[in-house]
């Protein structure tokens, strides 16, 4: 007779994301409210909740407490991400337009960064972003401000 050992199911980032989205919906909270609760930016909070960044341990614990999630979720939220996304252009209209902006203006952004800083890149790790609503006579505008550390290419 063979003894069997049942391996417990480990919670994944996708599992925690689904729990967060469910708790957010049930609580009727906005990302700004959730971020304010844990003293983080809404952009960072959303990105980390979607599994694209790792929360500092104390912020993960604060989010778990604020959202009423299982304690195990804090450890998952603090794990480094594996950034995997679709390589094809998405069909969601808002996300598609962001791809369109990069497709149209990406070479321009690259050229202007290189003129101002030299050959290199803008970091997406040492990075922050703000999204604000700006009133405009032709219709309100979405203002996206991105700030990333300049990283020069190095020879080695």
Measured at the CA of 90, the angle between CA 89 and CA 96, to 5 degrees, comes to: 85
**Active-site entry in 32, 58, 100, 145:** 100
Assess whether 97 carries a catalytic annotation: yes
Assess whether 123 carries a catalytic annotation: yes
Contacts of 72 (CB under 8 A, 6+ apart): 11
Assess whether 133 carries a catalytic annotation: no
In the three-class reduction of DSSP (H, G, I as helix; E, B as strand; rest coil), residue 151 is classed as: strand
Give yes or no for a contact between 16 and 76, defined as CB atoms under 8 angstroms apart.
yes
**Active-site entry in 114, 123, 145, 147:** 123
**Active-site entry in 97, 141, 145, 147:** 97
Measured at the CA of 57, the angle between CA 21 and CA 68, to 5 degrees, comes to: 35
Give yes or no for a contact between 59 and 40, defined as CB atoms under 8 angstroms apart.
yes
Total count of residues recorded for the chain: 156
Active centre residues (catalytic)? 97, 100, 123
């Amino acid at each position: 007779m063979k003894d069997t050992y049942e391996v417990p199911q480990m919670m994944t980032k996708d599992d925690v994301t689904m729990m967060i989205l469910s708790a957010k919906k049930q609580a009727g909270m906005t990302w700004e409210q959730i971020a304010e609760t844990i003293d983080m930016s809404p952009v960072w909070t959303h990105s980390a909740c979607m599994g694209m960044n790792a929360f500092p341990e104390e912020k993960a614990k604060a989010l778990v407490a604020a959202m009423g999630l299982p304690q195990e979720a804090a450890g998952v939220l603090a794990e480094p991400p594996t950034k995997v996304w679709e390589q094809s252009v998405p069909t969601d209209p808002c996300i598609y337009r962001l791809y369109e902006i990069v497709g149209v203006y990406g070479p321009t952004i690259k050229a202007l960064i290189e003129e101002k800083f030299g050959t290199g890149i803008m970091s997406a790790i040492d990075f922050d972003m703000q999204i604000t609503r700006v009133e405009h006579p032709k219709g309100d505008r979405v203002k996206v401000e991105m700030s990333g550390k300049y990283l020069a290419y190095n020879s080695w």
